[in-house]
Amino acid sequence: KQWYQRRVREHHPIQPRRITLQELATHNKLGDVWTAIHGQVYDITAYINYHPGGVAELMRGAGIDSTDLFNEVHKWVNFQNMLKEYLVGYLVQAPATTLQVPGQASLNAPRLSNSYPSKQLPIATSFAYDSYQTERCYTLIVYGKVAKCNKIKSCYFYGTVGNDFLTVIVHCLQKQFKLSLELHANIKKFDIRKTNLKFELVLYKEINGMWPNEGKHKPQSKTTTEKSNLEYFQAKCIENTAVSHDSRLVTFEFLGDFYAIPPLGSHVYVYNNDKDSLIDKKPYTVFNVIDSRKFQLLVKKYENGILSSYICALKPDEIVEMQGFDHFIDMNVLLKVKSLVILAAGTGITPFYRIMKEISTNQNFNEHSCTLMFYNKKKKDILIPEELDQLKNGIASIEITHALSQEDAEMWDGLSGRINSSHLDKFSNQSIFLICGPAPFVHLAAGLLKEKGVSKANIKEFVG
């Protein structure tokens, strides 16, 4: 770990940006070595002398897209986690744009291990199971088998993984695939890798060596059934931070051996700790996923809001009863057109932050534009402005416009007032429009779009 520890001490985080093959090719000499793996560009200069395979082997990938070379030798390696500190950008085909780099954000959560196949992935209708192993790892793979229609459908999972057992459910559409087995031997840790239609569970063996098989499968393991009801679980508050005068970012960690990757746009239902209250539970959008153990909710405290007051007052180590996960966003819908417009008001930004992160890092969107129209009352009400600005530097072209309805004129020279038709005139009727916010805002925005001539199919309303 010497190279890693030294590099972390010396490393100054930068905001990843768009990098062309031409620029990548200029970093191909000792002392300045970049390489691209699955669309992500890394500065591996500090790692060269510590690579177990030697300098010459690693230099084969210097200044080029080395995805194929990597897959030949290290396909099972979780490179995103190992190299996450050294990410410098995302590989694009078009000329790179010079972009303003904002300050380091407070919500710089690590990404999940993702790789993205070519555009227009097919819809998953059933599942297949496979596995392979090395001396160190045993990898279990669940594939979404595809039909002819060309659509991306998000898979997600939840489950329990212990040192000698696992039960994992993978969901896609209205189907689920179950894996439940007693492992052949103990494991010391595991990693999760996923694409839209594939999950890999990488089990790191406690004692190196080849296993005769993964272990003993329990009844109903490796079976496909209709999607079950929402899952109950407990989560512990580990951090509660103010992000505005009336909103909190609350970070939770699943308890026990429970793990999950909630889908884009999904809700968790938070149960009231007061069993005598008239309100039993309420859905909240998963704002951010840190990893398979931690996620975040962005919650605005309302004066008479029973659940919002409860969540905003949580202290570290307090345990919350929850249920999840429902809803998901079909990202393929957003691939159908080149222009995406997001209309958000207040905490209506919560479902869109993860969507915009996905668009900014997924190479499928390298020819798309995304515009966020973010409506608030005053400047102090704008949530996560720095984190949103960071998304401008990704693969897709992202533009953000703030509109304030109650700010003093001398304090604000940007767009003013509530949403109206003049705000929407510049957008093509062929764009896809996503809307979220208070019910009156959603109703007004959807009505204005219909008057403008936007088809119902191109208007997506998010409701709690």
Distance CA 293, CA 106 (A): 19
Residues 124-141 pLDDT 10s: 567 889 999 999 999 999
Q: Return the pLDDT at 358.
A: 86
Q: What local confidence, expressed as pLDDT, does residue 317 receive?
A: 97
Mean pLDDT score, 279-286: 87
pLDDT, position 146: 57
- According to the model, what pLDDT value does residue 118 have? 38
Token pair for 414: 């940007």
Closest CA to 175 of 153, 207, 148: 153
In the predicted model, what is the mean pLDDT of residues 145-174?
74
Look at residues 271, 262, 265, 242 and name the one whose alpha carbon lies nearest to residue 384: 242
- Distance (Å, whole) CA 9 – CA 26: 26
Looking at residue 401, its pLDDT comes to 96
CB-based contacts of 411: which residues, under 8 Å, 6+ apart? 379
Tokens 């970093």 belong to residue: 27
* Residue 126: strand pairing partners: 145
Question: φ, ψ for residue 198 (rounded to 5)?
Answer: -150, 135
pLDDT of 121 strictly over 70: no
pLDDT in tens, 375-390: 999 999 999 999 999 9
**What does each C-alpha distance from 270 to 253, 264, 319, 345, 431 come to in angstroms?**
14, 18, 11, 22, 34
pLDDT at res. 247: 95
Which whole-number Å values give the CA distances from 127 to 68, 145, 198, 409, in the listed order?
26, 5, 9, 57
- In the predicted structure, residue 4 carries a pLDDT above the cut 70: no
Alpha helices in 398-438 (DSSP H): 421-424
pLDDT digits (tens, 9 = 90+) for 223-256: 988 766 678 899 999 999 999 999 999 999 999 8
Quick one: pLDDT at residue 6? Answer: 41
Q: Is the pLDDT of residue 202 over 60?
A: yes
* 5-23 per-position pLDDT tens digit: 444 434 445 567 878 888 9
pTM over 0.85: no
Any idea which of 39-48, 292-301, 339-348, 409-418 has the lowest mean pLDDT?
39-48
The total number of residues shown for the chain amounts to 464
10 Å CB burial of residue 207 (0-12, 13-18, 19+) is: exposed
The CA-atom distances, in angstroms, between 226 and each of 176, 271, 329 are 6, 26, 19
Say how far residue 293 (Cα) sits from the centre of its chain: 13
Using pLDDT thresholds of 50, 70 and 90, give the confidence band for residue 117. very low
Q: Answer yes or no: is pLDDT of 119 > 60.
A: no
